[in-house]
A and B are shown apart, each in its own frame.
Chain A
Amino acid sequence: MLDINGVQSVIPRYWGYYYFANAGVNFSVVGVDIYDKAYSKTLDNLLQTPKLDKEGMVVGKGVREIFNQNYYNEYFNFVKSDGSLKRVDVIGVFDTNTNLESNDMIFMPKELVKEIFDMQTNYATDIVLEVPNKNEIPSIISKIKQIYPDSRVITQDDIRVSYQNIFDYKSGLFLSLFVIAIFTFFIIIYDRASGLSSHEKREIGILKALGWRIDDILAWKFYEAFIISFSAFLIALITSLFYVYILQAPLLRDIFSGYSILKPSFELPFTLDFGMLSIIFFLSVPIYLAAIIIPSWKIASSDVDEVIR
């Protein structure tokens, strides 16, 4: 393939799924050259303890937990196709922040992957071609097809589209939930803003008759609405944190991470996005306050004698 004009490099990749029967889960085993600069630099950023100074494997947090549950603390014995065992030391664990992606991953030298999966010397799981000039990609694909008719060529754009479809589907689901929530909220706001209930009007009338000024009534309404909306905001925040980090987001997590029950379970890393919290706060509390204060002001400013008769 290197002889095809326009191809700058050809890199074989070695990876596969290893089924660990004891736990009933799959690990995604990826072979890398950890001494390759491109890999080692990236791995250093992803590891909790960035020390890849000996041969071994780097595992995700979920993999590490499953190892520990099965009394493998320092190493793991992989069962090869001939039934013999291959011991590989654990030399690093991926950082918790990468959990969503790295939870079921095992990175190890490609020679080990080939040995565990019993791959022949000149074989690879797939091959990556680097083509600097994008315009040459279609002609290179057709040349590969001519040389290897049973091969499947996937471009970077194909992969991107494929991932995009997955995320579009997931984000579409969340978007529809979000739109329903927003729609419900604005129905409530519209209902509040379009006029107070007869009970609330009566209450304002009573207070005014008892000598409350308009600003006294508005101050009371402000405190009342603020306590309600801010409490709702806090309750929603605490409930969602509880749902995600204590209950581990049942149902929604499956949608996000896929439905595979074969993958090791993982814990979502704790993050609190204050920017997002501010947006939610300013889109809810002040709007609710306005929806209460404005109609209250209208009622309090008008003659209330009709209301209290």
Chain B
Amino acid sequence: MITFKNVNKIFANDFYALKDINFHIKQGELVLLKGASGSGKSTILSLLAGLSKPSSGEVVVFNKHISKLPDDFASLFRREHIGFIFQKFNLIENLSVKENIITPLIPSNLEESIIDQRCEALLKRFDIEEKRDVLVKKLSGGEQQRVVIARALINEPRIIIADEPTANLDEKLSQDFILYLKALKEEGKTIIVATHDNLFFDLDFIDKIIQMKKGVIL
């Protein structure tokens, strides 16, 4: 389902952010990308989502060469297949909870009633119904995290990408997040989490851990 084949990513001054990366992830797997800051985890997620292109090699998702997609097609691909959970939440501060959650669907041609239906279901699922019209900047960290997960699920993606999702959370909220991840895996989502948080590494529902260091897989 997701294949990285001989992928290199070279930045300025011949700095190898990724060097000869090869791995394969099957549908429904929960995979951890483990490593210290700067090891290349986020770069892999960026390539996987088509946000940047590899210097060489191939990134194939659902039999599509993501690395060769033009920019607009890569955006469409993300809209249809990928849910993002960012390290710093990356919510749009001046929008309400509901507006943030539906943001991925605004450019789509989905009917408003369907968007509303999906949004309401997610608000209920993550227990933030009461906050639907509140600006996200007024929410607590835990509430913001739930908005981020709801936003990642609004387009009903098959792949969830989470970049250091617990970096800004306390232990209690991190445990809550892990429970959400478990539920998503049980729904059949393919989940890739980049983290160096030890909380993740002893979980029994992790399918694979990819250990990284200085741009290479150990």
Contacts and interface: CB of A to CB of B under 8 A. Distances in A.
Interface of A: 202-203, 205-216, 301, 303-305, 308-309
Bin the interface of chain B by size.
20 to 34
B142 to A, nearest CB: 20
Contacts of A212: 75, 79, 104, 106-107
A208 B77 CA distance: 11
B166 interface: no
Given A303-B52, A305-B52, A208 B75 contact: yes
21 contacts: A206-B103, A208-B75, A209-B49, A209-B51, A209-B90, A210-B78, A210-B104, A211-B77, A211-B79, A211-B155, A212-B106, A213-B71, A214-B75, A216-B75, A216-B107, A303-B51, A303-B52, A305-B46, A305-B51, A305-B52, A308-B51
A210 B71 contact: no
Contacts, number: 65
Name, among B49, B72, B78, B107, the residue most crowded by chain A CB atoms within 10 Å (CB to CB).
Answer: B107
Interface string B77-103: 111101010110010100000000001
Nearest to A202: B90
B151 interface: yes
B201 to A, nearest CB: 23
Given A304-B51, A308-B86, A211 B80 contact: yes
The interface residues of chain A, by DSSP majority, are classed as helix
A301 B51 CA distance: 11
A309 to B, nearest CB: 6
Name, among A209, A303, A308, the residue most crowded by chain B CB atoms within 10 Å (CB to CB).
Answer: A209
Name, among A203, A208, A305, the residue most crowded by chain B CB atoms within 10 Å (CB to CB).
Answer: A305
Given A214-B75, A308-B51, 7 more contacts: A210-B104, A211-B104, A211-B107, A213-B107, A216-B75, A303-B51, A305-B43
B179 interface: no
B71 A203 contact: no
A213 B72 contact: yes
A210 B42 contact: no
B90 A206 contact: yes
Contacts of A202: 90
A301 B74 CA distance: 12
Nearest to A211: B79
Which 9 residue pairs spanning A and B have beta carbons closest together? A211-B79, A305-B46, A216-B107, A211-B78, A305-B51, A210-B104, A213-B75, A303-B52, A213-B72
A294 to B, nearest CB: 17
Nearest to A203: B92
A228 to B, nearest CB: 13
Nearest to B105: A211
Contacts of B78: 209-211
Name, among A209, A211, A305, A308, the residue most crowded by chain B CB atoms within 10 Å (CB to CB).
Answer: A211
B10 interface: no
Contacts of A209: 49, 51, 78, 84, 86, 90
A207 B103 contact: yes
Contacts of A205: 90
Nearest to A301: B71
B210 interface: no
Contacts of B72: 213-215
